[in-house]
Amino acid sequence: MSEASKLVEINFDGIVGPSHNYAGLSLGNIASSSHAGDVSHPRAAALQGLAKMRGNMARGLPQGFLLPLPRPNAGYLARLGADSETDRRLLAQSWSASSMWTANAATVSPAPDTADGTCHLTPANLVTMPHRAQEWPDTKRMLQLAFADTAHFTIHDPVPPTFGDEGAANHMRLCEGHGARGVEMFVYGESGGPFPARQHEQASRAVARLHGLDPARTLFIEQNPEAIAAGAFHNDVVAVANERVLFTHERAFARPEEAYAEIREVFPALELVVVPEAEVPLGEAIKTYLFNAQLVTLPDGSTALIVPGECMESGAVRSWAERTTASNGPIRQVIPVDVRQSMANGGGPACLRLRVVADPETVDARFMLDDEKADRIARIIERHWPESIAPGQLGDEALAGEVVSAREALLQELDLGELA
């Protein structure tokens, strides 16, 4: 069997951490802001995420996971010189469980696309949001463990903090098959009205150079400033790609027709699915996270779209889904999943996963999921994750101890004490 034939797309979902809370730290993320101050339910959140992973395994899709980062982040608080008088918003940053959204963990270029024939991963610096900028050192350490086989993987440092980089949430790949040579698309922002454009063009270009991508098969596309201003803080809130299919809202890109033409020039096999504003308004697409979905190839070769359950509660989105699956288009199934705890903080099914095209045998087996391991993880979550957290509890010493102990129990269960 050739090396290319062993390559499959593996979704590495973030296990929702025991400090999951609604502190409303993410400017431009409307769901996060609108739920600020609500009581969160970490146990339910983690079990919802695990159920999504189980569902994908049942559909025949390879599934991995990444672990919660250490929270509260004592090192972060120490560097701030935090004390009893420290602003509560700074304390909340150290408790953030936002690493659950592993689409922001790194940008990934599979081996068929890179000059040296290894899969390259560059951790995102996430400098635009303070609560996320603290993540990359621990994220890189975990990536170096999960993808330690240097014959198959190359792990980089983040690009300099001069340029904001948000990882795979602003990166798409088109290909004839996951193991084939692809075309990589980086989507960057120039402006976003009242909200920051988080992905800088120069960060995207730096990642492409670091990964050794062929300039003739690498595209840089500007996100529509109107989409950013409407709450599409990452491109994956308004567009997602899988193999030959690009699924996008018509207002996702700054110059859509120019973007489509540029893509078709380098990838003639493109199957373009554009949702018109007249069918699903941009605001409704962002509210329901129709595009923050997992667009996947099932074992029978058909394409399915795994969407948040909220999509089926929208008349416009539900009608679009019914028309789409009844047509001859590439998307044959629209499958709703319950990730309500994540959605309330601004992350749908696509936010919760990092796509890595690799031979599963080259990945540290401790990060690959099967049914037995999922059962063990569920038992740890049910036993140790807090049932609820109110924002006013952030900073509570007893709760901090509970959160730390919960993560330690998971690491011990998975034999991953190196990440303690």
pLDDT tens-digit map of 130-144: 999 999 999 999 999
Cβ count near 348 (within 10 Å): 27
Contact 404, 419 (CB under 8 A): no
Summarize pLDDT for 330-385 with one digit per residue, the tens. 999 999 999 999 999 889 999 999 999 999 999 999 999 999 999 999 999 999 99
Phi, psi for 128 (deg, rounded to 5): -65, -30
Summarize pLDDT for 262-285 with one digit per residue, the tens. 999 999 999 999 999 999 999 999
| pLDDT > 70 in the chain, percent | 97
User: Buried (b) or exposed (e) across 51-61, using 16+ Cβ within 10 A?
Assistant: ebbbbbbeeeb
- SS3 assignment, position 82: coil
Q: Look at residue 31 and tell me whether its pLDDT is greater than 90.
A: no
Contact 263, 244 (CB under 8 A): no
Give the domain CATH number at 174.
Answer: 3.75.10.20
User: Buried (b) or exposed (e) across 126-158, using 16+ Cβ within 10 A?
Assistant: bbbbebbbbbbebbbebbebbbeeeebbbbbeb
Q: Give the pLDDT band (50/70/90) at residue 2.
A: low
- Whether the upstream peptide bond of residue 72 has omega within 30° of 0, thus cis, is yes
Query: Residue 121 pairs with which residues in a beta bridge?
Result: 108, 155
Summarize pLDDT for 72-122 with one digit per residue, the tens. 999 998 998 988 778 888 889 999 999 999 999 999 999 999 999 999 999
| pLDDT > 90 in the chain, percent | 89
Instruction: Verify whether residue 311 is a known catalytic residue.
Output: no
Q: Give the pLDDT band (50/70/90) at residue 196.
A: confident
- For 157-189, what is the HEC assignment? CCCCCCCCCCHHHHEEEEECCCCCCEEEEEEEC
Give, for 9, the enclosing helix (H) or strand (E): strand 8-14
Choose the catalytic residue: 171, 234, 249, 384: 234
Q: How far apart are CA 169 and CA 147, in angstroms?
A: 20
Tokens 């796509």: give the residue. 355
Summarize pLDDT for 221-263 with one digit per residue, the tens. 999 999 999 999 999 999 999 999 999 999 999 999 999 999 9
For residue 193, the model assigns a pLDDT of 84
Task: Specify the number of domains making up the chain.
Answer: 1
Q: How far apart are CA 349 and CA 156, in angstroms?
A: 26
CA 196 and chain centroid, separation:
19
For residue 265, the model assigns a pLDDT of 98
Instruction: Verify whether residue 234 is a known catalytic residue.
Output: yes
Q: Give the pLDDT band (50/70/90) at residue 34.
A: confident
Range of the domain at 366: 4-419
Taking phi over 0 as left and psi of -120 to 50 as alpha, with beta for the rest, 343 belongs to alpha
Choose the catalytic residue: 9, 135, 166, 250: 166
Q: How far apart are CA 247 and CA 292, in angstroms?
A: 10
The DSSP-derived string for 18-78 is TT-------TT-HHHHHTTTPPB-HHHHHHHHHHHHHHHHHTT--EEEEPPPPSS-HHHHH
Q: How far apart are CA 221 and CA 204, in angstroms?
A: 10
CA 318 and chain centroid, separation:
24
Choose the catalytic residue: 175, 211, 351, 384: 351
Q: Give the pLDDT band (50/70/90) at residue 35.
A: confident
Q: How many residues does the chain have?
A: 420
